[in-house]
Structure formats: C-alpha cells, structure tokens
Amino acid sequence: MRIVFAASELSPLAHTGSLGDVLAGLPAALAARGHDVSICLPCYRGLREHPELQVRATGVEIQVPIGAKRVPAEILECTAPNGVQLFLIRRDEYFDRTTLYGPDGRAYEDNAERFIFFSKAVVELARRIQPAPEIIHAHDWQTALIPVLLRERRLPIRSVLTIHNLAYQGNFWAPDFGLLNLPGDYFTTQGVEFYGEVNLLKGGILFADRLTTVSQRYAQEIQTPAFGAGLDAVIREHAPKLDGIQNGVDDRVWNPATDRVLPERFSAGSMAGKRVCRDVLLAEFQLAPRPAGPVIAMVTRLAAQKGIDLLVPLLDRLLAHDVRLIFLGEGDTRFERELAVASRQHRARFVYRKASDLPLAHRIYAGADLFLVPSHFEPCGMAAMVAMKYGAVPVAHAVGGLSETLRDDDPTTETGNAFLFHQDSAEAFWDAIVRGLTVFADPPHSHALQQRALASDFTWPHAAERYEAVYPLALRAKRP
C-alpha cells in the first residue's frame, strides 16, 4: 500500500515522548514489509542543516490558505534515520523555534495556526505525490485536521488517526475556527466545536475513516468518563471504527546487546555488562557507589499524568534506604522545582537532571535495577517496555497499556516481569516499591526477574501486521 505518515515528532530528530518513537518504528516496519511509506514532519530548527539528513530542496512550494491569508510552505526531502522517505514542511516563522510546542511547559500562543498550517500543507503535498497515496496516517491533535480536510474536499485518499494520548486534544478559542477555512456548519456539535471552542482532535475522531489507539485496554478506558477527558461519549459513538494496537520497541535503537551508547553491552544470557553500566552511571552522576539496595530510575515528561505527585511525598521515605535514585525529564515547572529541591537535600543518593537527552536515557535504562512508572493513566507505556529490554524492572500502576505488557512478579511460579499496584495512591505505590526493595535484597530472585524482563519481546513487525489489517478497512469505509 501507499501510506503517508503525518506527525509532529520523529525520533531522534524531534522528540518529547513516545509519539516520536512510534514514528521511528512503525513506518520502518511497514516499509520492510513491502509498503511504499513516507513521513511528513515540520521542518524544525536545525533539521535543514542536520549533518546526517542530506536535506534536498524539491523546488515545490505550496500556498496554504490560513484564514484570509495565503502562506507559502517549502517542501524539502531527505531520508529519515529509520530509512524512510521524509518530507519536511518548512515555514520558519512557525517551526524555527527552540522547542516543539512551547518553552517551560507552556504552549506557544499560535500553536493552532502552526499545526493547522502543517496539516493543510500535508494534504496539499499528498495531492501532488505520484502515484497518489491511498492512506494518510495522522497522529494526535497536531494532525487531526487532516481527516476533516480529506472528507470536506472529497479527496480519494483515506485517513487513519491514531490517538496516542486523549488528554491532549488541540483545544483553541472559537475565533481560531476562521483559520480552518471550513464552512460554518463544521463549527457545530457534529464538527470541531466542543463547548464553544475548537477541538481539533474531536474533528479527527468524527471524520477519520478508521481510529486506532496504542493499546486494547486504553481503547476501552477512553470510552469511560474516568479516562475519556470529556470525549468519552464521542469515542463511544465511533467505537465501531476504533482498534487498540500495542506499540512496539525498535530493536535497532533499544537493544543492550548492540547499543553503542553503553559503556558495556549485555543481554539476558550475559548480564555482566549491566553491572558495569550501573557502576559507570553512578560515577557519571557522582552518586555514592556500591549501594546495598537497587539503583532506581525514572525517565519521563514531567506532566501530571505521569504520577509525579505520587512519587514526591515518598522521596524522603525511599531515600532513607540505601538506594540510588536517578530522574531524567523536563516539563511542568512545579515538578521540576520539587525534584531539584529533593536532589539537593539527598546529594549522595538522588540526582535530578532537567533534560530530554536520548543518549543519557539509554545509559540510565542500562544502569537501573528498578524503573518507576506511577502514571495515573498510561495509553501504552513504552518507557516501561524499553526499561524491561534493558533489565530495569518496572514498578508500575496497572493501567492502560501497562496492564497488557506487565505481569506481577510471582515467586511461587517464577513468573512476572514487574511490581504492580492497582490503587491510584501514594501508599499503594509505596507498597509496590517495598516489594521491589525486598526482592533486590535477594540476588538469585532479582537476577531471575531481570532476566525475565530482558527476555520480553516487544517488536514492531507484530504491530505493523495489525495495521495492515486496519488500512483496508479504511479504504472500504463508507462515507456520507
């Protein structure tokens, strides 16, 4: 099939979370299975001159209507690091900025205009590609306008929209509707209007030919008021076209047996290198060496979703044990301040690094024994999947995709790959942490548990096969 992916992230070029990892893994897996795949990405700062991309000008310039004005988009082309053809949509006033969505956890005031422009440019580019794509696979609110545009213009290209996180919907004030250049009847309950605002994700849900999200459990959860973020009724109405497909992990990027970032490589069959990675990591952060307890890590965006509010009250209690805690992430300034203060109070045992640093993330996964995932909700849980591939055992809330990939440690049957808690509370989280500390005081038990985690298999070809079943359904979907 001929498939164009449209997204606001692509690892390692533009990355804030798992969206970028999906765009690195899934298109490549589909291309390896014989499909004609390309990706459209905004031309963020530095990409045009990126030394590894060899970006070429196509000579194509598209005039994009944005309200009363027409804004030119320059189309650049290169090969992405995953080997897939990559189109960069260049408009420096929109995308030549220090961050993707806004500084210090705040959104740029013109994010509506920026991603409306990008979505319209992708549709116009798709109309010019020969042979024409059969599917545009859009991702999250930043490209959710694409299914609306394809339907309004009655274009023969079909759409699939993947919801990675329903909490982020692209809500903007009503006057931004004028930027869409759509008929007024689209600003109704049967269009992009939502409680008097523009809701781009809602529009995509209504008009996409097929919907997917990133786990079967999350596909069910978002149909409930507790997890639906206000859109649960909309999701329930369109549930017949919704599929939950678990993400994969790219073995070419996340594999401790081949990872060139690590000081020593290792695998389930030969774990000596993990001890080396652990020691080097503690030295890198100048943490006290040779703790009696485990090295504990968390790598995440600092967002309310991630359960940071469950961890902060436990820090003093946790660090009273002889453990080492390493935290990597940035986002909500309130959480950044709290973690920075705690790290100064416990200098020898806790370090917080405010950054989004992929090579450092690799080293942290490799050096950690336990990996914390206390999320209030978690659509997929790719960080936990990566952690297991590096032998870092998750301590996780059994919710969303985490409940599909993780199994609680059971010493009687010698099964499981994680320590799970089910009640969304700090005390339940603490009980799971204590179980982890207890197991890591028993080296034979902890070694076997880490080996089971390392042996976990999360590959993209299986997910790609599931999408191969979804795309024909989009082609056959009946449109009004």
C-beta separation of 308 from 375 below 8 A: no
pLDDT mean over 74-96: 97
395 has pLDDT over 90: yes
187-228 pLDDT, tens per residue? 999 999 999 999 999 999 999 999 999 999 999 999 999 999
Give me the DSSP letters along 117-154.
HHHHHHHHHHHHSSSPPSEEEEETGGGTHHHHHHHHTT
| Residue type for position 471 | Y
**Confidence class for position 16, pLDDT limits 50, 70, 90:** confident
Per-residue pLDDT at 3: 98
Residue 304, amino acid: A
- Report pTM: 0.92
**Cβ–Cβ < 8 Å for 213, 181:** no
- Closest to 181 (Cα-Cα) out of 145, 131, 209: 145
Cα-Cα-Cα-Cα torsion 280, 285, 289, 293, nearest 10 degrees, comes to -100
Of the pLDDT bands very low, low, confident and very high (cuts 50, 70, 90), residue 457 is confident
Residue 480 has pLDDT above 80, yes or no: no
pLDDT more than 70, % of the chain: 100
* pLDDT in the model for residue 201: 98
Mean pLDDT of 7-20: 93
Both tokens assigned to 138? 């859009």
Domains and CATH numbers, the chain: 2-248+460-476 (3.40.50.2000), 272-454 (3.40.50.2000)
Residues 150-180 have pLDDT tens digits of 999 999 999 999 999 999 999 999 999 999 9
Q: What is the pLDDT at residue 458? A: 87
Find the mean pLDDT for residues 397-419: 95
